[in-house]
Amino acid sequence: MAGESDLATLLKSMHPLLRDGDYVYALWAHGKPLEGNIEAAVREAEGLTVVLRREEADRLGLSYDFVAAWITLQIHSALEAVGLTAAVSSALTAAGISCNVLAGFHHDHLLVPSAGRRRAMEVLELLGRGVVLRTERQPDREEVLALTASAFSISPVTGLPVDGVPPEVNLLRELFECEEYLPELSIVAEIGGEIVGHVISTRGWVGDLELLGLGPLSVQPHLQRRGIGSALLRETARRAEDAGEPGIALLGSTEFYPRFGFLPARTLGVTAPDPAWGDHFQLLPLKTWPDGVSGTFRYASPFRAA
């Protein structure tokens, strides 16, 4: 059967499947006949590399460093199909996940670091819908500001159209330039090279404790309610966790944010900059959230001037 070769179709129907367990790469002793359950082998001038389940490598006494999760793209791709592995590995790279690709006759297989398996599956699921998340870059800014203007053209507070440029646009412009800007926490969602979503978190504080303040968060209106905002929030939480940040504060809907683990900030000892915000001022405590926090949250300077 001829395999699929159109990239958009391949991405839409790649159906990634995560195999159980861990896999490793090991070197096979020169001249020794192959034995055991080897999943893949590559012969090189320097020797034979085998890929096998971790337990099997242990049973055979093979040593290894890289412990991987194995994801099979279930689409039957033509071996000569152009772009699938490039699209997959660049989306994973943008998410900070390294990826080794093995092509079988029928399918492509990805070996990603074992600890990143769930994240890799999410990245592939988004890619299947054409969405790639990546860190914002300086040349993106005008496009991101235009997106923010269109997302906030209806006020999320009043539900009414906003006259002129929404205040979130100038706030974001200043956040890009302020001292509290954190490049890795300004993240865009792209479809086909067009920016359709953006989220930014900047440095904030409670007393001396450094936290993050999230916002604005924008998704292009005609693409809302398709999971893009949720993906940007989850990516922010992951990057913040990886960076050892203790928590993320924001002002927003009490229906939308609690599903990501946000709690009323007051329940964690953190008071809103404006008491009128009540339970709309929320906080996501991360792994390093310390006990006994008490104080008022201070946003990056552009928020305070807004």
Does residue 228 belong to the site contacting ligand COA (CB under 6 A)? yes
Question: C-beta of 245: minimal distance to ligand COA in Å?
Answer: 20
Spatial CB neighbours of 263, under 8 Å, sequence gap ≥ 6: 282, 283, 284, 285
Q: In this chain, which of 84, 196, 217, 284 binds ligand COA, going by CB under 6 A?
A: 217
Alpha carbon distance, N-terminus to C-terminus of the chain? 62
Provide the β-strand partners of residue 102: 109
Say which amino acid occupies 124: L
Residue with Cβ nearer ligand COA (77 or 201): 201
Say which amino acid occupies 299: Y
Question: C-beta of 63: minimal distance to ligand COA in Å?
Answer: 44
Per CB under 6 A, which of residues 276..295 are in contact with ligand COA?
A: none
Question: C-beta of 255: minimal distance to ligand COA in Å?
Answer: 4
Q: In this chain, which of 9, 37, 93, 253 binds ligand COA, going by CB under 6 A?
A: 253
User: What span, in angstroms and rounded, lies between the C-alpha atoms of 52 and 41?
Assistant: 9
Does residue 230 belong to the site contacting ligand COA (CB under 6 A)? yes
Residue with Cβ nearer ligand COA (28 or 281): 281
Q: In this chain, which of 75, 123, 126, 151 binds ligand COA, going by CB under 6 A?
A: 151
Residue with Cβ nearer ligand COA (71 or 233): 233
Residue with Cβ nearer ligand COA (37 or 253): 253
Are 243 and 282 contacting, i.e. CB atoms less than 8 angstroms apart? no
Residue with Cβ nearer ligand COA (77 or 204): 204
Does residue 252 belong to the site contacting ligand COA (CB under 6 A)? yes
User: What span, in angstroms and rounded, lies between the C-alpha atoms of 103 and 75?
Assistant: 12
Stretch that binds ligand COA, among 111-119, 126-134, 178-186, 223-231 (CB under 6 A): 223-231
Question: C-beta of 195: minimal distance to ligand COA in Å?
Answer: 13
Size of the site for ligand COA (CB under 6 A): 17
Residue with Cβ nearer ligand COA (85 or 202): 202
User: Which residue pairs, CB below 8 angstroms and at least 24 apart, start in 96-101?
Assistant: 96/242, 97/123, 100/25, 100/68
Spatial CB neighbours of 193, under 8 Å, sequence gap ≥ 6: none
Q: In this chain, which of 76, 173, 226, 238 binds ligand COA, going by CB under 6 A?
A: 226
Does residue 156 belong to the site contacting ligand COA (CB under 6 A)? yes
User: What span, in angstroms and rounded, lies between the C-alpha atoms of 220 and 228?
Assistant: 9
Nearest residue to 171 via CA among 185, 181, 183 = 181
Are 189 and 201 contacting, i.e. CB atoms less than 8 angstroms apart? no
Tokens of 48: 């034979």
Are 258 and 165 contacting, i.e. CB atoms less than 8 angstroms apart? no
Does residue 267 belong to the site contacting ligand COA (CB under 6 A)? no
Q: Which residue is nearest to ligand COA (CB)?
A: 229
Are 172 and 142 contacting, i.e. CB atoms less than 8 angstroms apart? no
Which residues make up the interface to ligand COA (CB under 6 A)?
151-152, 156, 217-219, 224-230, 252-253, 255-256
